[in-house]
């Protein structure tokens, strides 16, 4: 049985590149959200648009989530220690859970705030036209930010950054709804502004629930998806000397995978040869897949097990 936690220079370089890209994209998001949140809340109050203020609060939640991502990114880079012998990659899963719960809480707050307005629609004011221009500007900025962050997240294979990118997309979608609500308000239908705020709250809450539920499963040792598991199986079987395998199990560790597997090898070979096969299998899997570690157990085949021998 072999267990390795060391990383090659290439793996170290890839991790450094990944962390640098994650930090840069998150800092871009921070500055965009600072500017947008400030403009949306201040102008939303001035223009008497509840939907724009709600959108500004959503941007503030984006800003808070960015800081959560930066904090988690810092901790997840730590290597193994006595208390975390596989490293700290699950900080990313925990951060995604926090982001999901944050979105859920913000969404519920928006729904409540908007619902209150429906008790007395006559008190809903007509918004100022400047609110529409701010909403459109926010929509464009958020959509561009989403595309930038998602491209980075997919390149470095980070589920935490994917979650944060979709958080930006949810804000872009909410800005679109807000713009439509403001247009309706300006056309003589004041109720459409709180309706837009209500829709924004639903979008945010639904996305928050999705992220929180998915992250919770990852923290409970959810297996890699069937496609990735099948690819890992094929890589192991393609290793010279591996005759078959069984009990292949996987579990998520941040954006990486831990693998446990029993490899069947020719029982006539010596221990050193069997160990070399296990080493090659491990190296091939870690080279071809996002795998943190492979633990192997060697099962000899073609020999009668001592326990099965009949007593003369």
Residue 233 has pLDDT above 70, yes or no: yes
Residue at token pair 């991790």: 15
- Identify the domain boundary among 219, 251, 286: 219
The CATH number assigned to the domain holding 160 equals 1.20.1510.10
Predicted local distance difference test score (pLDDT) of residue 177: 85
Distance CA 191, CA 97 (A): 34
Q: Are 214 and 231 members of one domain?
A: no
Classify residue 2 by its DSSP letter.
Answer: B
Q: Which of 158-162, 201-205, 251-255, 263-267 has the highest mean pLDDT?
A: 263-267
Q: H or E element: which one contains 264? A: strand 256-266
Distance CA 156, CA 290 (A): 11
Q: How many domains does the chain have?
A: 2
The predicted-structure confidence for 20-58, as pLDDT tens digits, reads as follows 777 788 788 888 888 888 998 899 888 888 788 878 877
| Helix segments in the chain, DSSP class H | 9-47, 50-76, 90-117, 130-156, 159-186, 192-219, 226-237, 271-288
Share of the chain above pLDDT 70, in %: 79
From 3-7, 108-112, 202-206, 246-250, the region with the lowest mean pLDDT? 3-7
Predicted local distance difference test score (pLDDT) of residue 281: 93
Residue 3 has pLDDT above 70, yes or no: no
Separation of first and last alpha carbons in the chain: 33
Q: Are 257 and 145 members of one domain?
A: no
Residue 232 has pLDDT above 90, yes or no: yes
Q: Are 240 and 211 members of one domain?
A: no
Task: List Cα–Cα distances, 28 to 35, 158, 281, 293, in angstroms.
Answer: 11, 17, 40, 33
Q: Within a 10 A sphere around the Cβ of 249, how many other Cβ atoms? A: 14
pLDDT-based confidence at residue 277 (cuts at 50, 70, 90) = very high
Domain hosting 214: range is 9-219
User: Among 203, 206, 195, 169, which Cα is nearest to 49's?
Assistant: 195
Q: Are 76 and 209 members of one domain?
A: yes
Distance CA 103, CA 201 (A): 9
Q: Are 180 and 39 members of one domain?
A: yes
Residue 35, classified by CB atoms within 10 Å of its CB into exposed (0-12), middle (13-18) or buried (19+), is middle
Mean pLDDT, range 65-86, rounded to an integer: 65
Residue 2 has pLDDT above 70, yes or no: no
The predicted-structure confidence for 179-225, as pLDDT tens digits, reads as follows 888 898 888 888 888 888 888 788 778 878 887 888 887 777 788 88
Mean pLDDT of the chain: 80
From 76-85, 180-189, 234-243, 249-258, the region with the lowest mean pLDDT? 76-85
Residue 11 has pLDDT above 60, yes or no: no
Predicted local distance difference test score (pLDDT) of residue 95: 76
Q: Are 162 and 84 members of one domain?
A: yes
Q: Are 242 and 213 members of one domain?
A: no
The answer to whether residues 179 and 153 touch, using CB atoms and an 8 Å cutoff, is: no
This prediction has a pTM of 0.60
């Amino acid at each position: 049985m072999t267990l390795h936690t060391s990383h090659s220079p290439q793996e170290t370089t890839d991790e450094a590149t990944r962390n640098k890209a994650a930090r840069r994209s998150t800092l871009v998001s921070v500055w965009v959200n600072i500017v947008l949140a400030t403009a949306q809340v201040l102008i939303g109050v001035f223009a008497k648009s509840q939907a724009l203020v709600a959108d500004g609060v959503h941007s503030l939640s984006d800003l808070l989530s960015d800081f959560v991502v930066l904090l988690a990114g810092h901790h997840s880079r730590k290597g193994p220690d006595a208390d975390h012998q596989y490293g700290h990659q699950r900080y990313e899963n925990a951060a995604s859970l926090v982001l999901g719960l944050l979105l859920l809480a913000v969404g519920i707050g928006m729904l409540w705030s908007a619902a209150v307005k429906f008790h007395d629609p006559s008190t809903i004011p007509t918004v100022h036209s400047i609110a529409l221009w701010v909403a459109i500007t926010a929509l464009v900025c958020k959509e561009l930010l989403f595309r930038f962050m998602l491209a980075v997240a997919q390149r470095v294979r980070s589920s935490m950054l994917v979650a944060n990118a979709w958080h930006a997309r949810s804000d872009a979608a909410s800005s679109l709804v807000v713009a439509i609500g403001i247009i309706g308000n300006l056309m003589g239908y004041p109720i459409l502004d709180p309706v837009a705020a209500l829709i924004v709250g639903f979008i945010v809450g639904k996305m928050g629930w999705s992220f929180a539920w998915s992250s919770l499963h990852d923290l409970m040792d959810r297996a890699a998806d069937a496609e990735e598991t099948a690819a890992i199986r094929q890589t192991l079987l393609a290793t010279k000397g591996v005759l078959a395998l069984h009990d292949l199990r996987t579990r998520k560790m941040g954006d990486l995978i831990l693998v446990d597997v029993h490899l069947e090898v020719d029982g006539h070979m010596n221990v050193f040869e069997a160990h070399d096969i296990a080493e090659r299998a491990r190296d091939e899997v870690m080279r071809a897949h996002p795998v943190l570690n492979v633990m192997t157990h060697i099962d000899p085949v073609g020999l009668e097990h001592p326990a099965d021998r009949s007593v003369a």
